[in-house]
Structure 1
Amino acid sequence: MTWLNRNIQRFLIALLVLALFGGAVVVMTFVAIPADNRDSIIQLIGGVNTLAGLVVGYYFGKASAEGGEG
C-alpha cells in the first residue's frame, strides 16, 4: 500500500463523489422518475450535491489558495 498514500486516497474519493454527482445530473436530465419516488431522489441528489460542494471547497478553497494543506 505504498502507492496509495493519503493524498491519492483523498483524490480518489473526491473523483468518486464528483462522478456520482455527474451521474445524478445525467439521470435527472434524461430519465423519467416516478412521482412516488421523486422526493426521495431529489433528497439524495441534494446530499450528493453537498458532498460535491465539499470536495470543490477542499481542493479550491481558502487553504488551497494560501498554500496550506486541507
Structure 2
Amino acid sequence: MNGSVVVAVDPRYTSQTCPACNRKAQENRDKKKHAFRCTACSYRSTRFPCASDSSQRPGRHSTSVTATV
C-alpha cells in the first residue's frame, strides 16, 4: 500500500461511540447480545463493525499525517 496514510487512533471507547452521530455512552452497548444501539439517534449495528467505523472516523477527517507507508 505505497502512499497510504497512517493515522494513530485511540481505541478507547470505540465500541461505545456511535459512528453516525459520534455520541459516546456506555448504554449504547448490549454486552450480552454483542449489539449496539445509539441512545441518541437509534443507529443499530453489531458492536464490532461499529467499533471499526468509530475508529476509522478520525482518520477520514484528519489533516495531520502520522506516518506514510
Q: Same fold (TM over 0.5)?
A: no
In proportion to residue count, which structure has more helix?
A: 1
Largest Rg, 1 or 2: 1
Larger RCO: Structure 1 or Structure 2 (Cα < 8 Å, ≥ 6 residues apart)? 2
In proportion to residue count, which structure has more strand?
A: 2
- With normalisation by structure 2, the TM-score equals 0.34
- With normalisation by structure 1, the TM-score equals 0.34
